[in-house]
Amino acid sequence: MLKPISTILAAALLLTSCESSAPRAIPIAPREVPIYQQAALTQGDGGAQMSPAFSRALDVEPTFAVSSGPSIRAASYLLLDARSGQHLASRNAETPRAVASTQKLVTALVVLDAGNLDKPVRVAASDVNVEPTRLGLKTGEVYTRRTLLYAFLVKSANDVANVLARDNAGSISAFAAKMNAKVRSLGCTNSYFVNPHGLTAPGQRSTARDMARVAMVAYRDATIRDIVRRKYFSFRRADGRTVTLENTNELLGRMPECNGMKTGYTVASGRCLISTASSSGRDVILVQLGTKTKYIWDDARLMMSWGLQRARGRFGVAAN
């Protein structure tokens, strides 16, 4: 029997730090869960669904990292065991910086909190006035929240971000307030969001540690997992044409163990990548922020392969 999600989140987000000589853990106070999220535990349409294996593993107290891991180029990074919350390696994980489109995971969580994914949404003129990555939506077109969410996370389209935000909260600023409330409820203490897409804005920031918290929750969401694992998504436009969207995550297809997450890039943020991988019952999450070279994919593969050898499996046993 699944435990209440508030209890599961409290265990899942007891993330630990390996950067100081005195290891520490930050417990997250349980919060009340909306009724529709409680229903999602059994109905499978929303952000709360997670497998019994994961929920059992999350009851285990996280342990502390003992190794720095392979050398990678990110200005900030954090690698963790997705089952236990154990930090396996990190650098500058609490340094605030721009995180670009990786913050779209927060957007997705807020959208999923509202449920009703099959609700039709009409595109407004204000939604399409955004650059640089766009799906080319036109004013007046109608799509379901579900279709938009899939296109949003696969193609990282900023016009779709605006549609979802306005539909959810009425305005970009109101939606940003929901994003900030969401991450605070997850225990993120050094994040502030201004928009749903991650384009550079004054004051907008997060940390590798905070984004790891977001990623852990996203990784346990059945809808997000189904979207971000896809290399391609067939998007049917309002005029009947179908276009194939290719995922911005180049690790998909390049690293067999990789099962998703989210890319990001702006001049201010550099290359950012949240990536996940699973093998033999072991799961890892890697957050890389501020990489200045094209080798972020190689770094992700190297670090996650290393982490999979040290993460604990479903029976609590590491590979090495």
Query: Looking at residue 159, what is its pLDDT?
Result: 97
Report the distance separating Cα 200 and Cα 202, nearest Å: 7
Query: Looking at residue 279, what is its pLDDT?
Result: 96
Amino acid at 30: P
Query: Looking at residue 50, what is its pLDDT?
Result: 43
> pTM of the prediction?
0.81
Q: Where are the beta strands (DSSP E) in 125-241?
A: 142-144, 232-236
Of 53, 63, 82, residue with least CA distance to 277 = 82
Report the distance separating Cα 125 and Cα 170, nearest Å: 14
Of 262, 249, 258, residue with least CA distance to 215 = 262
What fold, for 5-308? Answer: Beta-lactamase (3.40.710)
In this prediction, the residues of the chain whose per-residue pLDDT falls under 70 are: 1-67, 314-320
Question: Hey, CA dihedral for 308, 293, 154, 218, is it positive or negative?
Answer: positive
Residue 258, phi then psi, degrees to nearest 5:
-70, 130
Q: What residue segments make up the domains of the chain, in order of their start?
A: 5-308
Query: Looking at residue 255, what is its pLDDT?
Result: 98
3-state class (DSSP) for residue 276: strand
